[in-house]
Amino acid sequence: MKNITSCAADGAPHMMGKKNGCLKLMKDANPEMIIVHCVIHKENLVAKNISPVLNEVLHAVKKCVNAIKANAKCERLFKLFCEEQNEDYVRLLLHTEVSWLSKGNCLKRFMQLFDTLGDFLSEKPEMKYLLTIDGKAFVSYLADIFEKLNILNKQLQGPNKTLVDAKAKIFGFITNIELYQKHINNKNFEQFHWLQKCEVTDTALLVIVNHLNILSADLKERFSDLKQIDFPTWMMQTLLVDLSDISNMQYQEELAELQNDESVKTLFNIKGAMAWLCEETETKYPNATKYARKLLLPKHQAQGSH
């Protein structure tokens, strides 16, 4: 247990419970271990937070998709209809709660086939609603924003992604969300592929800006713990940092030697901050390495120091 430096988990009570949660018990046994709520899981929770109006639109999309996908004959007819319209795609994609990326994929395909769907499901009440000016603007916006959330989700994935990477991507995304609000308030939809092709009423504009505000606030709240994690300059810019700015004398001594160690400098020039994970760095500079590894080890699972 003492070799585990950090551990991430989803928000399940048996994992994150404050009294008897698995990570609480691990923390009791190893007080220096860093506990993190899985950033991908939190990002998915944020994506679920949408207003009643937009949720109604999402529900209408699901009903239209299910009307075709649930019936084999209907799906075959839709495929033939798409071929007659010379569409690039001939099938819709289902949305499932299990797959975190499926909502964005489902909406994107829906928009790619929107005109054809409008003809094929012209009598269906849900499709009639989506064909209205506001209905089309809302589903277009949802396709765009979930595409952006999917991109963020994928950027957070990977075997070598660290908390440093996650913090940069998440708070960069929050900054972009705030910029989107300003642009959309000015009726500039350039960064929204589907929405810029629509007519957007003042009513729809308010709903969209409100949702962006909800997204921004929710992201800030859920990732407040990540915001508070300090990544020292010496850890990220090891070869450039002014040693006089380092308050810990133990780290300062090791870094003074490291900045003059040609072998390790080569590692940092090639790998950047990830050079702290190299065996040679740990062997020569154990104290600074131990601290850096707590923050740099990949975030998706428990990690041990060797």
- 34 touches 294 (CB < 8 A): yes
* pLDDT confidence band for 302 (50 / 70 / 90): very low
Give the H or E element holding residue 7.
strand 4-9
Q: Quote the CA–CA distance of 48 and 39 in Å, as a whole number.
A: 15
For residue 28 the two structure tokens come to: 């009791």
- DSSP SS3 for 124: coil
According to DSSP, residue 88 is labeled S
Residue 122's Cβ-side half-sphere holds a number of Cα atoms within 13 Å equal to 4
- DSSP SS3 for 126: helix
pLDDT in tens, 277-292: 899 999 999 999 988 8
pLDDT in tens, 41-75: 666 767 677 889 999 999 999 999 988 888 888 88
**303-304, strands of its sheet edge to edge:** 34-37, 4-9, 303-304
Instruction: Please spell the DSSP secondary structure of 202-214, one letter per residue.
Output: HHHHHHHHHHHHH
* pTM for the structure as a whole: 0.79
